């Protein structure tokens, strides 16, 4: 696995040597205090107690999905299997996470929890090629993040994989509201019912976004698909006659066009980002490609 080299250009060119933190708890505290900035995740709890153990850090991401953080403290610690165990525990104890979100963020946020794409983020000073291979074989939403500390002023996070996994389905048939899940409108139900032309348009857009870089991962969620690097870059909903796309591009920097490219800053919507792009044809997609490129480059 190639190393990253950092050079200072002050007083000539000098390599800045990397190091690990002296205490892993120091790194855990730093991430918990800055989780939103580093990973786009709202911090909920540290050392969250579960049966026969504790989860290092727990949060909820911008798509309302649960996120588990585990930190590798020694070279022989199997943090990946540990994180997978905690993920399975959380899926079997959803009420515990619901109560945590309820207490920390309130009822509205708790009712928006999306269990289709929970995530484990494993953070370590280094991983082996076998770790990355094992994660790919597991077909679960587990992300490996390598960190490097440069003196007392710089901290680097390197995302080593971009998992592309199927959403987790549930065997439950009723929501708290008592509505049947089979009657619920979701991304998957909308996609299934969409005309073939819209499905083809979606697949064309999807393939283009994934081709932007190996660091793009695809998360199919309850109402939309989110394409992410560290944070969401593009979210797509499928409708009968169009695709609705949200991005984090500043609407004030774009030439807006009613019905095509619009400012959704003060308009309710699924997905994240204030710029809405509505695609009804491949021609629309060709016109909007530059915005997809910008969304990738700027986020």
pLDDT tens track of the chain, all 299 residues?
A: 456 788 888 888 988 887 777 667 888 999 999 999 999 999 999 999 998 889 999 999 999 999 999 998 766 678 888 889 999 999 999 999 999 999 999 999 999 999 999 999 999 988 888 888 888 888 889 999 999 888 888 899 998 888 878 787 654 433 443 444 556 788 999 999 999 999 999 999 999 999 999 889 899 999 999 999 889 999 999 999 999 999 999 999 999 999 999 999 988 888 999 999 999 999 999 999 999 999 999 98
- Dist. CA 244–CA 257, nearest whole Å: 14
CB atoms within 10 A of CB 120: 27
pLDDT at 182: 52
- Dist. CA 16–CA 226, nearest whole Å: 36
Strands 142-150 and 119-124: parallel
pLDDT at 180: 47
Closest CA to 113 of 47, 32, 183, 172: 172
Buried b (16+ CB within 10 A) or exposed e, 87-97: bebbeeeeeeb
Q: Which residues contact 26 (CB under 8 A, 6 or more apart)?
A: none
């Amino acid at each position: 696995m190639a190393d990253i080299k950092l050079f200072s250009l002050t007083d000539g060119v000098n390599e800045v040597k990397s190091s690990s933190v002296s205490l892993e708890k120091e790194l855990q505290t730093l991430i918990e205090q800055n989780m939103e900035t580093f990973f786009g995740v709202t911090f909920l709890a540290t050392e969250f107690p579960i049966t026969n153990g504790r989860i290092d850090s727990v949060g909820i991401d911008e798509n309302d999905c649960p996120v588990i953080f585990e930190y590798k403290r020694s070279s022989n610690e199997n943090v990946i299997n540990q994180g997978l165990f905690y993920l399975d525990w959380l899926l079997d104890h959803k009420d515990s996470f619901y109560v945590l979100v309820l207490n920390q963020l309130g009822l509205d946020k708790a009712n928006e929890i999306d269990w289709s794409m929970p995530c484990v983020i494993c953070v370590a000073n280094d991983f082996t090629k076998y770790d990355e291979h094992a994660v790919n074989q597991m077909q679960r939403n587990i992300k490996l993040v390598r960190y490097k500390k440069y003196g007392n002023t710089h901290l680097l996070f390197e995302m080593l994989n971009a998992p592309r996994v199927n959403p987790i389905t549930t065997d439950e048939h009723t929501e708290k509201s008592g509505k049947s899940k089979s009657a619920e409108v979701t991304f998957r139900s909308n996609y299934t019912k969409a005309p073939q032309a819209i499905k083809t348009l979606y697949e064309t857009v999807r393939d283009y976004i994934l081709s932007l870089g190996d660091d793009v991962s695809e998360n199919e969620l309850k109402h939309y698909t989110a394409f992410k690097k560290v944070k969401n870059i593009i979210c797509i909903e499928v409708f009968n006659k169009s695709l609705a796309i949200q991005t984090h591009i500043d609407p004030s920097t774009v030439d807006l066009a009613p019905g095509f490219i619009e400012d959704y800053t003060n308009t309710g919507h699924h997905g994240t980002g204030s710029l809405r792009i509505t695609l009804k044809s491949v021609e629309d997609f060709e016109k909007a490609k530059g915005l997809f490129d910008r969304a990738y480059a700027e986020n």
